[in-house]
Chains A and B, each alone.
Chain A
Amino acid sequence: MSKKEWPLWEIFIRSKAGLSHKHVGSLRAADAEMAVENARDVYTRRSEGISIWAVESKDVYASDPTEADSLFEPSDSKVYRHPTFYDVPDGISHM
């Protein structure tokens, strides 16, 4: 990256109180403050948010998609973690 180019930021927006921040896209900005200001203009022109997080893209450590099968397999095989795995006798309610 040349010195002139601004770093890339990932932008997360909380659309309303009670909901978590959600990734909406990325943008370029000289620093974190500017990333938030730019995100206001780029991603919330129609009241889409009440709070913005900006995370520099290079700081995001992501799982490797080619390892996804082995990473998530352990949870796929544990069907007993779901309530539907269990038989509930007829006549039982509220369980």
Chain B
Amino acid sequence: MKDINISELERKFQEKIDKDIKIEPKDWMPDDYRQTLIRQISQHAHSEIVGMLPEGNWITRAPNLRRKAVLLAKVQDEAGHGLYLYSSVETLGANREETIDDLHSGKAKYSSIFNYPTVSWADMGAIGWLVDGAAIMNQVPLCRCSYGPYARAMVRVCKEESFHQRQGFEIMVQLAKGTPVQKEMAQDALNRFWWPSLMMFGPNDAESKHTAQSVKWKIKRHTNDELRQMFVDATVPQAELIGLTIPDKDLKFNEETGHYESGAINWDEFWEVVKGNGPCNKDRVDTRRKAKEDGMWVVEAANAYAAKRAIRKSA
């Protein structure tokens, strides 16, 4: 190893990436590649975990048993996604507990969408349809990410996400063809979640400082704007089909390009939420921190029980 210099290792590394050979945990990788992945995968993990909160808010108030069972299963899946991802972070040498503590101290970020409140049952529909829909757009290309453990986690996640989007859309369909009040609920949820969903893809390409290097490393396969466009093109016709209106006066279909053109996104709002000033930032992080603190006795009790069991076995 000693006689091979770093630039030679980097050249060989990029050669593997270019040939679509996956990078595995013990393979040599540039430090920046490792740090980029640790940041991205842990943010993704935190998003799955914090993402349980807005929906968890409605589990006890689901309108019937079927909806309740579905929502419970969906939220449980999100917990699973968080766990697959924390395992992936650990393969990069990051410490799981420190990673989680970074979330609790406000040092680490998570998807800004989860800092919006869920004020009506229709929000469960809008989240499944739009938020999981946007997550799928982001995650499908990540199944081909150059880092093996992340790519494999994404394959599992994507298989599970498709039910998430469908159950949300089903709620919207039901409400949209219900009473005028129910339809109004669905429209209101769409109004509140549409723009934050578009922001989920991150800043415009011109503003996105990590994109170029991530594309070169095949961590990212598409830019933020490309993914956002794919989402808009897929979602607008779905809204039309169920008689709901996308809350964008400037939205129009361009016959020539075959794409929808959206109005301007309020990036000031986005950055405010990212900075911690969204409607629920404090509440979300406080809830997670409290969950860890209040749950610490479970960690300790399980350790004590495991120690007792080990003694009994060796006796």
Question: Cα distance A5–B83 when bound, in Å?
Answer: 15
Pick the contact of A30 from B96, B97, B305 — CB < 8 Å? B305
Determine the distance from Cα of A28 to Cα of B309 in the docked complex, in whole angstroms. Answer: 17
Which B residues are in CB contact (< 8 Å) with A5? 96-97, 299
Flag if A27 contacts B24 (CB, 8 Å).
no
Q: CB within 8 Å of B: which of A2-34? A: 2-6, 8, 25-31, 33-34
Q: How long is the Cα–Cα vector from A51 to B152 in the complex, in angstroms?
A: 20
Cβ-based interface call for A89 (8 A): no
- A24–chain B nearest beta-carbon distance, Å: 8
CB of B76 within 8 Å of the partner chain: yes
Interface residue count on the A side (C-beta < 8 Å): 23
- Tell me if B's interface is mostly helix, strand, loop or mixed: helix
When chains A and B are docked, how far (Å) is the Cα of A19 from the Cα of B77? 26
Interface size class of chain B, counting residues whose CB lies under 8 Å from the partner chain: 20 to 34
Residues of A within 8 A of B83 (CB): 27, 42
B302 touches A34 (CB 8 A): yes
Contacts A26-B90, A27-B87, A30-B305 hold; do A4 and B28 have CB atoms under 8 A apart?
no
Which of B's residues lie within 8 Å of A, judged by CB? 1, 24, 26-28, 73, 76-77, 80, 83-84, 87-88, 90-91, 96-97, 149, 152-153, 160, 296, 299-300, 302-303, 305-306, 309-310
